[in-house]
């Protein structure tokens, strides 16, 4: 395997210019001159784009500009000891030691592991001192080779697997945009800081060199979690309910002791911010080894990424209705984007096109109608991503980034064929597993860079979308049509039974898998715009609001002395969370007393679901609670259904607390609600 660095890639005490741009360009030039990349400007552009996302200057006068680039043919390190120093955004001043890490677009795992070892060495004071004192390029090369050799001692983050000491126990996750350097440096800096402060910290590095999930037993025992991340934490639900300290990954490198101190304090603070998720019901995906559990993880990933498209699009349509009336959602958008279509209220569609309306040439209905039409059209376009996003991120959960493109393509094909939500799920699974299989065989080095960006997406798109068009699309479309017709025909008792079922699902695990299934079912139907789907959406949102409002009612009004001070504070916050359709507002209560809280929620949710369906309430908004009142027909009946369900929940909970045995004593204080609680499918 070629070396990461050679003497041709080392510059000692060089004046490369006063600006970091000059230094990065000079290092990119040295990589190209060494035959490790094909084009200077392309490599510079990729490194500079990464630099603009986050400063790569670290403490102690070190900078590590880095990137993945299609122009790089071999993972490479270029080194410069610059004089004068150059500002790379380090918290304690400019840098004199600069490592540029250049990785191919599809960098192979072995080289990425070596790069990770080097990044970890940069938090070693002796290693940095040796870099400063070296007098020849050969000394620098030897230092780097020793730092990346297999004889290196294991990183502190990997030590002490069992967590059996009496020290305070913390866990954490680090990750950065490229997964090359900051991920591993932050892990070691935080672990070293914890050791100095008398704590035990176990870090999961979610980087390019692979990931070993934290032991679920460690997570369960940990007092708090540290997230030092520039990208989303994978499988965040494993940490649900834990006190959390979260910051960009660079803070984990620059100020690790501060983060560890904050985590130790959070572990003792019942009001600390906590990881949002499915509460006590959340299970670690690390222990999910059965095929069924793996499929569940994959599907929930797709649904989680799909929800923002639906929530944003649905709310925009609701705003369109508010500004311009229902016409904006059905025909009004033609004012904004004229084109071939049907007539609208006696005015031929082509007449709209001829008028060429704009802010300077408003339609007869005025400005609000025009803005409402624009909002509704943007919302409709956003909802159009529902199935492609679902398919794309299901495929992503299986095959990582190479699965996204074929997943989106097969999702678009599914929508075109009318296969809908079911077709999106089948297509996403097909695209993901196809992409994963195509990426498994070993390929020549010259082909590796093309695999994730060209070959895997191309072949997986052909296979998955081809099968959807030629074989699967027709039968799935027929099934989808039959289900839609069955839902549309529900009335009377059948509709009420459906409302009860949806209410139970929404209130069982408070943002967990069952809750998400019900919510995804509702928003998928919302895109079709049928009356039955609007009934279902109103029912799901109403039922999801019942648990936090019911907990608030019980703890702050009905039976204050039956709840702790922390629970009463949580209850005060739960009023607003419930009104906003954030079901997680009830999680602290369910985690502390599940045998009483969960049945109470189920009774109230079932009643609200039945009443909402019986009243025939509809909602055109997928989220927002009472704040999207303008998108809910028969709003007062809808609100009445919620109030009745929440009151029943509160009374049942108080009755259980008073008459069904004493509550078991707690070993830990209840988690307090964080002010930054985020909705997880409500």
Residues belonging to the active site: 66, 176
Residue 346, Cβ density class (10 Å: 0-12 exposed, 13-18 middle, ≥19 buried): exposed
Distance, in Å, from the CA atom of 638 to the CA atom of 629, rounded to the nearest integer, reads: 10
Distance, in Å, from the CA atom of 617 to the CA atom of 609, rounded to the nearest integer, reads: 11
Distance, in Å, from the CA atom of 144 to the CA atom of 138, rounded to the nearest integer, reads: 10
Nearest to 526 by CA among 511, 538, 514: 538
**Which residues in 59-211 belong to E strands, given as ranges?**
62-63, 66-69, 76-86, 95-104, 169-175, 200-205
Give the strand pairing for 169-175 and 200-205: parallel
Tell me the two tokens of residue 600.
């109470």
Tell me the two tokens of residue 449.
């860079």
Pair 179, 210: CB distance under 8 Å: no
Pair 119, 250: CB distance under 8 Å: no
Distance, in Å, from the CA atom of 398 to the CA atom of 393, rounded to the nearest integer, reads: 9
Distance, in Å, from the CA atom of 501 to the CA atom of 243, rounded to the nearest integer, reads: 33
Pair 272, 224: CB distance under 8 Å: yes
Distance, in Å, from the CA atom of 225 to the CA atom of 237, rounded to the nearest integer, reads: 12
Distance, in Å, from the CA atom of 95 to the CA atom of 93, rounded to the nearest integer, reads: 7
Distance, in Å, from the CA atom of 183 to the CA atom of 205, rounded to the nearest integer, reads: 6
Distance, in Å, from the CA atom of 296 to the CA atom of 314, rounded to the nearest integer, reads: 26
Give the strand pairing for 95-104 and 76-86: antiparallel
Q: What is the largest CA-CA distance in the chain?
A: 86
Distance, in Å, from the CA atom of 578 to the CA atom of 545, rounded to the nearest integer, reads: 5
Tell me the two tokens of residue 255.
């100020």
Distance, in Å, from the CA atom of 417 to the CA atom of 427, rounded to the nearest integer, reads: 12
Distance, in Å, from the CA atom of 55 to the CA atom of 51, rounded to the nearest integer, reads: 6
Q: How far is CA 527 from CA 301, 403, 617, in A?
A: 20, 25, 17
* 80: β partners: 11, 98
Which secondary-structure segment (H or E) carries 426? helix 420-438
Tell me the two tokens of residue 608.
């609200």
Intra-chain end-to-end CA distance of the chain, in Å:
51
Pair 72, 104: CB distance under 8 Å: yes
Distance, in Å, from the CA atom of 478 to the CA atom of 302, rounded to the nearest integer, reads: 23
């Amino acid at each position: 395997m070629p070396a990461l660095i050679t003497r041709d890639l080392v510059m000692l005490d060089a004046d490369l210019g006063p600006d970091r741009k000059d230094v990065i360009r000079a290092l990119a030039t040295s990589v190209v001159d060494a035959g490790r990349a094909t084009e200077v400007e392309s490599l510079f552009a990729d490194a500079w784009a990464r630099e603009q996302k986050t400063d790569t200057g670290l403490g102690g006068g070190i900078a590590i500009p880095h990137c993945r680039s299609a122009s790089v043919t071999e993972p490479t390190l270029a080194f410069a000891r610059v004089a004068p120093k150059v500002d790379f955004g380090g918290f304690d001043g400019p840098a004199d030691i600069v490592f540029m890490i250049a990785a191919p677009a599809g960098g192979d795992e072995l080289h990425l592991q070596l790069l990770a070892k080097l990044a970890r060495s940069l938090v070693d004071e002796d290693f940095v001192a040796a870099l400063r004192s070296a007098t020849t390029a050969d000394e620098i090369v030897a230092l780097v080779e020793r730092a990346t050799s297999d004889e290196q001692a294991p990183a502190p983050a990997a030590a002490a697997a069992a967590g059996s000491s009496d020290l305070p126990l913390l866990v954490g996750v680090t990750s950065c945009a490229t997964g090359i350097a900051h991920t591993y440096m932050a892990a070691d800096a935080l672990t070293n800081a914890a050791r100095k402060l008398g704590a035990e910290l176990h870090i999961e590095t979610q980087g390019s060199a692979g990931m070993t999930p934290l032991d679920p037993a460690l997570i369960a025992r940990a007092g708090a979690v540290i997230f030092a991340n520039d990208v989303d934490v994978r499988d965040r639900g494993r940490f649900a309910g834990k006190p959390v300290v979260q910051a960009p990954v660079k803070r984990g490198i620059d100020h690790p002791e501060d983060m560890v101190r904050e985590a130790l304090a959070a572990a003792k603070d019942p009001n600390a911010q906590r990881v949002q998720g499915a509460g006590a019901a959340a299970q670690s995906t690390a222990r999910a080894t059965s095929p069924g559990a793996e499929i569940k993880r994959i599907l929930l990933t797709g649904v989680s990424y799909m929800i923002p498209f639906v929530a944003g699009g649905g709310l925009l349509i609701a705003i369109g209705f508010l500004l311009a009336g229902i016409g904006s959602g059905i025909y009004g958008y033609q004012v904004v984007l004229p084109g071939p279509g049907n007539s609208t209220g006696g005015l031929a569609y082509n007449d709209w096109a001829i008028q060429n309306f704009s802010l300077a040439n408003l339609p007869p209905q005025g400005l609000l109608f025009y803005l409402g039409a624009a909002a509704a059209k943007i919302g409709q376009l956003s909802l159009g991503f529902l199935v492609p996003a679902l398919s794309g991120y299901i495929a992503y959960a299986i095959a990582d980034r190479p699965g996204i493109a074929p997943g989106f393509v097969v999702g678009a094909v599914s929508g075109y064929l009318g296969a809908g939500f079911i077709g999106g799920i089948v297509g996403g699974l097909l695209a993901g597993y196809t992409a994963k299989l195509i990426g498994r065989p070993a390929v020549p080095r010259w082909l590796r860079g093309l695999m994730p960006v060209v070959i895997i997406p191309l072949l997986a798109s052909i296979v998955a979308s081809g099968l959807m068009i030629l074989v699967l699309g027709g039968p799935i479309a027929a099934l989808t049509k039959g289900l839609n017709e069955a839902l549309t025909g529900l009335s009377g008792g059948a509709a009420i039974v459906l409302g009860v079922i949806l209410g139970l699902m929404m209130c069982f695990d408070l943002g967990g898998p069952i809750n998400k299934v019900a919510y995804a079912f509702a928003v998928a139907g919302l895109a079709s715009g049928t009356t039955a789907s609007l009934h279902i959406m109103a029912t799901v949102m109403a039922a999801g609001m019942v648990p936090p409002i019911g907990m608030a009612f019980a703890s702050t009004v009905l039976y204050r002395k039956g709840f702790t001070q922390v629970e009463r504070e949580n209850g005060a916050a739960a009023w607003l969370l419930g009104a906003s359709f954030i079901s997680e507002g009830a999680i602290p209560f369910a985690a502390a007393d599940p045998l009483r809280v969960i049945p109470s929620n189920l009774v109230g949710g079932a009643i609200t679901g039945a009443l909402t369906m019986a009243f025939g309430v509809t909602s055109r908004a997928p989220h927002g609670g009472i704040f999207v009142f303008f998108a809910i027909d028969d709003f007062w009946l809808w609100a009445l259904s919620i109030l009745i369900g929440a009151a029943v929940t509160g009374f049942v909970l108080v009755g259980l607390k008073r008459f069904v045995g004493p509550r078991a004593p707690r070993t830990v204080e209840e988690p307090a609600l964080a002010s930054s609680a985020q909705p997880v499918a409500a």
